[in-house]
Chains A and B, each alone.
Chain A
Amino acid sequence: MSDGQAGSQTDVRLDDDPGLRPEREAVVGAAGRPRRRQRGERLMVPEAEFRSYYGKAVINEPTWKAHDIAGYLFLGGLAGASSTLAAAGELTGRPHLARACKTGALCALGGSLYALIHDLGRPGRFLHMLRVFKVISPMSMGTWILSGYGPQAGVAAATAVTGWFPRLGRAATVGAGLTGTLVATYTAALISDTAVPAWHDGYREMPFLFAGSAAASAGGLGMLAAPVGEAGPARRAALAGAAAEFAATKLMEHRLGPVAEPLKHGLGGRLLRVGQALSLAGAVTGMTAGRRSRAAAAAGGAALLAGAISTRFGIFQAGMSSSRDPRYTVEPQRARLARAETEGAVT
């Protein structure tokens, strides 16, 4: 690159006198009179606490569509945790549970992939995801995780349904069970690794919330699809999952302070509360009537699945609304700056 390229082409001087200031050094207002009793600028109205540009959002709202991406969060969680539960079932001699979970996982996986691709602006370019291997991109990592997990989940389900290649099936089942945990949780990093306040700021709790929600939904699936006799782990997974999810949500709400508002109010807040209620109801049903009655177990399972859906949509919507309001972006940053300033002043 030659010299001229590094700078402005219109920065031409007509006078070759280098002592003269160029236009960009114009000082507007310099020739006005300094105010009596005051020099230069002064505020006439007391600075309001919060200021923004006509109330417009600072960050751009995600372009992700709720049914695709919230759906993907749910289905991914369901698939991953189900595979883990399937492996656990398989290894502890619960073939029905295992098979139900494996097929469930494969279906969920299929759904999740569909949602993911459907949300792309250029679905035909889905495979561009495999151009790179980027640890700094949760979506890239997710793609590679899914690439590892998907075939195993597929083989696991196929062998379970057909009964062919049992050894291969078992290996795949275990593999899918292990990678499934990542499939169920990496999505927390996926959404947290954004500038969306309610998502980003919750990045510590979000994986646990997702893990809990995934476990609860897998438990729900187990309760729904496996005979009562084999569904013990499913029922307990549901309960533990729902409890973990609940705890993580509470922790997150507490830690986020004002940014948690969208998690508590509005569409996102409502969905989250409904989700928690359904999950807890489903888990409790599972632990009580569900231990005896297949119908009750199924109802509980359905409630758990619905609860997980509602939770994921709730998280999704809370993030969306936190991105729309500049307050959630500006205020925490202001607070951070103020903290840095006082800390700076102290040290």
Chain B
Amino acid sequence: MTFDLDRLFTGPEDPATAGGYRDHPKRVGFFTDTSICIGCKACEVACKEWNAVPEDGLIFTGMSYDNTAGLSADTWRHVAFIEQPRRLGHQEAWLSPADVPEQTAAAARTRDPASLGMPAPASPGAPPGEARDMDFRWLMASDVCKHCTHAACLDVCPTGSLFRTEFGTVVVQEDICNGCGYCVPACPFGVIGKREDDGRAYKCTLCYDRLGVGQEPACAKSCPTDSIQFGELDELRDRAARRLDQLRDAGMASARLYGHDPGDGVGGSGAFFLLLDEPEVYGLPPDPVVTTRDLPSMWKHVGLAAVTLLAGIVMVTLGGGR
């Protein structure tokens, strides 16, 4: 068995090929186009239904229409809702406060947007008494496990519970996981979690069982507007590139792709997105890096430290008196 530690995490190879599958199907994944998401959460429910994921709390968060809050062991699809004083393409929202008494308007403006969980109102400036087309948009985006090309969760898993499937996806094997919890902090996207009462780790399986019988994942299947597009990754990447051009041409300057680039810190993800703002606005890391990329260096430092420890103890034992 030979390992070239430095080359472990940079290979251009298809992950299923790298994983030792011969004659595997083409790599599949998701292109989630958030610009056509209607925030219906069918994806969240369809996922829970198919995978029998438990309900995880009836908590009103005040985060716009998001009461699920984020991905976890019990939420494998999560729809984010963002209200922003910003324009969406040429959309006209006409939500300007109409000639509200100045002190009320001022009081509304001074509310701390963070504490309200909502964006600050647009700055004043229009003549009083006249409604304006204020800049406003409501973004919705369905997040999911990225099925990273270089998946930290998978790399660190000490049991081989997390593994790469023949479809190039990353899956937890329920019959193996011992709940060591290592994958949880390893994921740079905050996707995987440990279900406390069950003790094992869970996340999106990209519906491994459905793929096996030629069916598309439950979330993509249900999505009413095709915001979640499932397919072969190469094809999806082409489609996404075309879509980006289309949106940019239509004045949606803020459109961007996220996770599509095989050159990024996780080698590109199997689930990538078209976003309309910076990733962190959606709760996504702006420049995720698979932690194991630094592992060779970590091992070197550990080795050095171990040698230092040995040397130190030898020295303190040999040197000095009794």
Residues in A301-321 with C-beta less than 8 Å from chain B: 319
Across the interface, A188 reaches (CB within 8 A) one of B87, B190, B301, namely B301
Kindly list chain B residues whose C-beta atoms are within 8 Å of the C-beta of A225. none
A168 to B4, CA, bound (A): 36
How many residue pairs link A and B with beta carbons under 8 A? The number is: 388
A310 to B240, CA, bound (A): 51
Interface status of A28 (Cβ within 8 A of chain B): yes
Provide the B32-72 mask, 1 if CB < 8 A to any CB of A, else 0. 01011000000000000000000000000101000001111
* B298→A215 contact, CB < 8 A: no
Contacts A185-B306, A203-B301; is A136 near B295 (CB within 8 Å)? yes
* B280→A330 contact, CB < 8 A: yes
- What distance in Å separates the Cβ of B115 from its nearest Cβ neighbour in chain A? 10
- What distance in Å separates the Cβ of B72 from its nearest Cβ neighbour in chain A? 7
Contacts A27-B250, A63-B184; is A233 near B158 (CB within 8 Å)? no
* A41→B302 contact, CB < 8 A: no
A9 to B217, CA, bound (A): 10
Kindly list chain B residues whose C-beta atoms are within 8 Å of the C-beta of A178. 310
- What distance in Å separates the Cβ of A207 from its nearest Cβ neighbour in chain B? 3
* B302→A35 contact, CB < 8 A: no
Q: Specify which of A143, A204, A210, A230 lies most central, judged by the most chain B CB atoms within 10 Å of its CB.
A: A204
* A31→B316 contact, CB < 8 A: no
Interface status of A284 (Cβ within 8 A of chain B): no
Residues in A295-347 with C-beta less than 8 Å from chain B: 319, 323, 326, 329-330, 333-334, 336-337
Kindly list chain A residues whose C-beta atoms are within 8 Å of the C-beta of B313. 81, 84-85, 88, 215, 233, 237
* B157→A58 contact, CB < 8 A: no
* A137→B156 contact, CB < 8 A: yes
* A29→B3 contact, CB < 8 A: no
Contacts A4-B214, A53-B80; is A89 near B317 (CB within 8 Å)? yes
Kindly list chain A residues whose C-beta atoms are within 8 Å of the C-beta of B114. 55
* B253→A40 contact, CB < 8 A: yes
* A60→B192 contact, CB < 8 A: yes
* A207→B156 contact, CB < 8 A: no
Q: Specify which of A23, A35, A63, A337 lies most central, judged by the most chain B CB atoms within 10 Å of its CB.
A: A63
Kindly list chain A residues whose C-beta atoms are within 8 Å of the C-beta of B295. 136, 138, 189, 193
- What distance in Å separates the Cβ of B7 from its nearest Cβ neighbour in chain A? 12
- What distance in Å separates the Cβ of B114 from its nearest Cβ neighbour in chain A? 7
- What distance in Å separates the Cβ of A250 from its nearest Cβ neighbour in chain B? 16
A11 to B31, CA, bound (A): 14
* B90→A40 contact, CB < 8 A: yes
Residues in A55-99 with C-beta less than 8 Å from chain B: 55-64, 81, 84-85, 88-89, 91-92, 94
* B285→A58 contact, CB < 8 A: yes
- What distance in Å separates the Cβ of A75 from its nearest Cβ neighbour in chain B? 16
Residues in A1-49 with C-beta less than 8 Å from chain B: 1-2, 4-11, 22-35, 39-45
Contacts A5-B211, A5-B215, A120-B179; is A59 near B309 (CB within 8 Å)? no
Kindly list chain B residues whose C-beta atoms are within 8 Å of the C-beta of A181. 306-307, 309-310
- What distance in Å separates the Cβ of A261 from its nearest Cβ neighbour in chain B? 18
- What distance in Å separates the Cβ of A202 from its nearest Cβ neighbour in chain B? 10
Contacts A61-B185, A137-B157; is A33 near B294 (CB within 8 Å)? no
* A236→B316 contact, CB < 8 A: yes
Kindly list chain B residues whose C-beta atoms are within 8 Å of the C-beta of A215. 309, 312-313
* B90→A200 contact, CB < 8 A: no
Interface pick from A127-135, A150-158, A263-271, A272-280:
A127-135
Kindly list chain B residues whose C-beta atoms are within 8 Å of the C-beta of A208. 301, 304-305, 308
- What distance in Å separates the Cβ of A76 from its nearest Cβ neighbour in chain B? 13
A319 to B180, CA, bound (A): 17
Interface status of A256 (Cβ within 8 A of chain B): no
Interface status of A214 (Cβ within 8 A of chain B): yes
- Nearest neighbor of A129 in chain B, beta-carbon distance: B158
A137 to B298, CA, bound (A): 11
Interface status of B257 (Cβ within 8 A of chain A): no
- Nearest neighbor of B135 in chain A, beta-carbon distance: A44
Provide the B182-223 mask, 1 if CB < 8 A to any CB of A, else 0. 101111111111111011110000000001001110001101
Across the interface, B89 reaches (CB within 8 A) one of A32, A58, A188, namely A32
* A134→B158 contact, CB < 8 A: yes
Interface status of B152 (Cβ within 8 A of chain A): yes
Interface status of B11 (Cβ within 8 A of chain A): no
Contacts A11-B226, A129-B159, A330-B286; is A51 near B281 (CB within 8 Å)? yes
A30 to B193, CA, bound (A): 40
Across the interface, B90 reaches (CB within 8 A) one of A29, A58, A241, namely A29
* A189→B298 contact, CB < 8 A: yes
Interface status of B17 (Cβ within 8 A of chain A): no
A330 to B282, CA, bound (A): 12
A19 to B187, CA, bound (A): 42
Interface status of B21 (Cβ within 8 A of chain A): no
- Nearest neighbor of B31 in chain A, beta-carbon distance: A24
Other A-B pairs, 8, CB within 8 Å; known A1-B214, A5-B214, A40-B253: A60-B72, A131-B176, A139-B158, A139-B182, A233-B313, A240-B315, A326-B283, A334-B280
Which 7 pairs of residues, A with B, have the shortest CB-CB distance?
Answer: A121-B179, A121-B199, A29-B91, A29-B89, A53-B283, A40-B251, A207-B305
| 11 interchain pairs, CB-CB under 8 A | A1-B25, A9-B216, A41-B87, A55-B114, A59-B285, A121-B201, A128-B161, A128-B178, A137-B156, A188-B305, A330-B286
Binding site for B on A (CB under 8 A): 1-2, 4-11, 22-35, 39-45, 51-64, 81, 84-85, 88-89, 91-92, 94, 119-126, 128-129, 131-132, 134-140, 142-143, 177-178, 181-182, 184-186, 188-189, 192-196, 199-200, 203-204, 206-208, 210-211, 214-215, 229-230, 232-233, 236-237, 240-241, 244, 319, 323, 326, 329-330, 333-334, 336-337
